[in-house]
Amino acid sequence: MLKSIRTYRLAKDVCCAICRSQEAKEIYEYSYENKEYLIVQCLSCGHLFIASNLLVSLSSRSMETIEDAEMHGSRAMKNLHKQFIIKKEIKKTRQIISKPHPRLLDIGCGTGWITNIWKESGFDVVGLEPSQQRARIAESKYSFPVCKSYIEDYFPEEKFDVIILRHVLEHIENPTEILNKIRSWLGAGGMLIITVPNINSIGRYLFRKNWEWVLPWHLHFFKPDTLMALTQKTGFQKVHFYQTPSPLWYPASFGRIFRKGSKLRQYFCQAPSVIKLLPFFPLILIGYIFNLNDNMTLFLKKDA
């Protein structure tokens, strides 16, 4: 059990996104680029989040980098992700959605390589991506339509059978509002797939303060119970849930143990590769054994 540093009363305009409480306990002060960020845990429901909104405008959320959008250019990591993560999602979706060509919206589709796997599997895909650069690559390379917009500014004319929210919810200031909005975009029998990092993971407990919290872009840090509470609150019913490993953050978290400027810190904190990940593969096994894997995937249907 983590010790509370002190009880923290949130500012008037800040509260827990799940239960709206303003009482929290301080968990970490996390250092990133010579700034300190306060991560707190709600005393009411246990949700972890940043104590103040770091992304003061929507444009701050846009991530323009290309390398990390496609597994840092590693063909091996892309193949592993396709075979063991994406194909598993597609198989489960096909068991739930019976239409031959379901209409699918991929929110935060990036450069489109994952969306294209769904397209090749028979889904009628549309992408939503605020990064102009990433959206242009998705359209030109994979030939599917992409709306260049933030989720807050998007208003589709047609309903969707499947909506994917992969590593987006943790970036949203008000996830309750966004999930309510997404629910209205789903047609009858429609399904939402959410994937977010799992803060109740072996990596976080092992590296503790040095865990790669992906600041300043991540505002929320979900656990299975807080993710379930949020989705139930917004009118969704759980269909299926599982955890998956994602050791990409392990090298950078390990690198933070070493002093700033050291060669070991620089080596591990640079872009991950298969070679850098190999020493951390035992953590994947531990995560499976104790149900403490790095990512959570939740399949949901609208509550009638």
Domains annotated on the chain, with CATH:
1-52 (2.20.25), 57-302 (3.40.50.150)
Q: Is the pLDDT of residue 241 over 60?
A: yes
Using a cut of 0.75, tell me whether the model's pTM lies above it.
Answer: yes
In angstroms, the Cα distances linking 17 to 4, 12, 51, 133, 231 are 20, 13, 11, 31, 12
SS3 content of the chain, % helix, strand, coil (to 5): 40, 25, 35
Which has more pLDDT, 193 or 69? 193
- Residue 65 confidence (pLDDT): 73
Question: How many whole angstroms separate alpha carbon 12 and alpha carbon 22?
Answer: 8
Beta bridge partners of 163: 105, 192
pLDDT tens for residues 51-78?
865 554 555 565 667 777 788 888 888 9
Q: Is the pLDDT of residue 135 over 60?
A: yes
Average pLDDT over residues 43-56: 79
Residue of 175 and 7 predicted with greater confidence:
175
